[in-house]
Amino acid sequence: MTQATEQPRLQRRLGARDASLIVMGGIIGSGIFVNPSRVARFVHTGPLVMLAWAIGGAIALIGAGVFAELAARRPQDGGVYAYLRDAFHPVVAFSYGWTLLLISQGGGAAASAVTFAFYIPAITGIHLSSAMTTIVAVSVIALFTLVNCLGVRQGASTQNAFMIAKLVAIVGVVGVGIFAIGNAVAHPASNATVPPFDPFVAIGLALVPVMFAYSGWQTSSFMSAELRDPQRNLARGMLYGVLGVVVLYLAVNAVCLIALGQDGLARTDTPASDVVRAVFGPIGGTIMATIVAISTLGFITNQILTAPRVYYQMAADGTFFSALAKIDPRTHVPVVAIAVQGIAAMLIAMSGKYDVILNWVTSIDYIFFGFAALALVIFRRRDAASGAPKPFFTIPLHPWSTGAFLVVAWAIVLDVLVKSRSDTLIGFAVLLTGIPVYFAFRRKAARER
């Protein structure tokens, strides 16, 4: 009589430091090098610029607190997917995973890969045709897909290396900015009459690019099955990672304002480059292009590292292609799910639709952020009724803090809908297509039983 062979499983090889770096890697892309100028165009004073980023940071910290408590209460495999599945209905969770593949992670990785290709001429002086730009973008995605197929430690170490490089680069920009202050880089203030404006409306508009730059802390929750002691390490990673990003973002904006002035910051499309160029001259553009390229590479590997764990769990639940639930016995990672994420990102990069998809990302993400806040309310009530022990971390000032995050999350969705109605509605349509797909997989699973 032969003994059944135990199926390979995901292995817990990551710790709290990995969780923090994955949180930061999921947030920091190229946005912080560009979005300070976009925010400055909505508000008319330096203090309001800093206030917008501080408010965004506070919202991100509350959101991290919500997700940290969710991780402490429900350390199940799949992170956000599992929270939505257990709090509401599996179709809500499936719709979330569906949009991860087709919008959030696939589009984000594709856009970052194309951005990297765009910066190659500035770094090397080699002009790339449109076809070569696409080839480079697809090749980069393919490379990181392969790296992540080698094992979770290899994928996380690659992500961490790029994240540390990003941290060094951002700290370097802040340091360079201090020197730039003495070089009179600030653009002269405009003499044009500034029309009256409502600061509350202006802050509300500015929060859209701010929250886009802060978004991404949730991706670390996808790694629950591969974190040691996820109740503690994931909660710590969420809080420490987001707090670190808030400090960095405020420092970058403060330096840009001091070096360029509010008016100069609003006039430029490349604020970080202007600051670096003020110290190093023309070569500063090459230095900054290299920094942005490194940042985009780090973001790509984060997207390919984290999201496939959701597709793996969807398949393990019987609501997606069964092949995605297979774990390679040598590397102990879901190689098929990783490959599917890489292929989706490559197809989007080749299609040229990544810019449109990115217009959907904020609204789709914050729809589910609001549901995550509701899930915490539900889990608290269930745990209180069952007498479950108090978790490692609980968010302060609940339910007010959790309710505030819910309101802000769905207000951001409404704001994006008003500003970009057609693109947002298309994103909603993609989300809704997940519902019939989910029930089709359920019917298939029922027939096979």
pLDDT (tens digit, 9 = 90+) per residue, 179-204?
Answer: 766 654 555 444 444 445 567 778 87
Could you give the CA distance from residue 361 to residue 109 in angstroms, rounded to a whole number?
Answer: 12
Could you tell me which residue, 3 or 18, shows the higher pLDDT?
18
The pLDDT assigned to 191 comes to 43
- Cβ contacts of residue 210 below 8 Å, gap of 6+? 35, 39, 52, 53, 55, 56
Average pLDDT over residues 237-256: 93
> Taking a C-beta distance cutoff of 8 angstroms, is the pair 377, 399 a contact?
yes
Q: Which tokens hold the place of 181?
A: 């202050």
- Cβ contacts of residue 24 below 8 Å, gap of 6+? 163, 166, 167, 241, 244, 245
* Least confident stretch, 11-20, 337-346, 348-357, 427-436: 348-357
Question: pLDDT tens digits for 214-227?
Answer: 988 888 888 888 88
Question: pLDDT tens digits for 71-125?
Answer: 999 887 788 999 999 999 999 999 999 999 998 888 889 988 988 988 888 888 8
Burial of 383 (0-12, 13-18, 19+ CB in 10 A): middle
The pLDDT assigned to 29 comes to 82
Burial of 418 (0-12, 13-18, 19+ CB in 10 A): exposed
> Taking a C-beta distance cutoff of 8 angstroms, is the pair 61, 27 a contact?
no
> Taking a C-beta distance cutoff of 8 angstroms, is the pair 125, 286 a contact?
no
The pLDDT assigned to 164 comes to 92
Could you give the CA distance from residue 179 to residue 391 in angstroms, rounded to a whole number?
Answer: 47
Residue 247: band (very low, low, confident or very high) from pLDDT cuts 50, 70, 90: very high
Percent of the chain topping pLDDT 90: 44
Residue 1: band (very low, low, confident or very high) from pLDDT cuts 50, 70, 90: very low
Q: At what angle do helices 308-316 and 80-87 cross, to 10 degrees?
A: 40
pLDDT at 437 over 70: yes
Question: Strand pairing partners for 180?
Answer: none
The pLDDT assigned to 6 comes to 62
Could you give the CA distance from residue 3 to residue 6 in angstroms, rounded to a whole number?
Answer: 9
- Cβ contacts of residue 118 below 8 Å, gap of 6+? 133
- Please give the DSSP secondary-structure letter assigned to residue 31: G
CA angle 302, 431, 405 (to 5 degrees): 70
> Taking a C-beta distance cutoff of 8 angstroms, is the pair 176, 256 a contact?
no
Could you give the CA distance from residue 25 to residue 158 in angstroms, rounded to a whole number?
Answer: 11
* Least confident stretch, 40-49, 199-208, 402-411: 199-208
Average pLDDT over residues 155-168: 90
> Taking a C-beta distance cutoff of 8 angstroms, is the pair 109, 140 a contact?
no
Please report how many Cα atoms fall inside a 13 Å half-sphere around the Cα of residue 114, on the Cβ side. Answer: 21
Residue whose structure tokens are 């029922």:
446
Average pLDDT over residues 387-411: 93
> Taking a C-beta distance cutoff of 8 angstroms, is the pair 59, 276 a contact?
no
pLDDT at 270 over 60: yes
Q: Mean pLDDT over all residues of the chain? A: 87
Residue whose structure tokens are 């790339």:
128
Q: What end-to-end distance do the CA atoms of the chain give, in Å? A: 26
Could you give the CA distance from residue 147 to residue 157 in angstroms, rounded to a whole number?
Answer: 10
DSSP symbols for 182-224: GGT-PPPPP-SPPPP--HHHHHHHHHHHHHHHH--GGGGGGGG
The pLDDT assigned to 32 comes to 85
The pLDDT assigned to 416 comes to 81
The closest of 251, 239, 245, 207 to 63, measured between CA atoms, is 239
pLDDT at 160 over 70: yes
Q: Which of 75-79, 269-273, 401-405, 418-422 has the highest mean pLDDT?
A: 401-405
User: Which CATH code fits 16-448?
Assistant: 1.20.1740.10
Could you give the CA distance from residue 335 to residue 235 in angstroms, rounded to a whole number?
Answer: 27
The pLDDT assigned to 215 comes to 85
Residue 3: band (very low, low, confident or very high) from pLDDT cuts 50, 70, 90: very low
Q: How many CB atoms lie within 10 A of CB 188?
A: 9
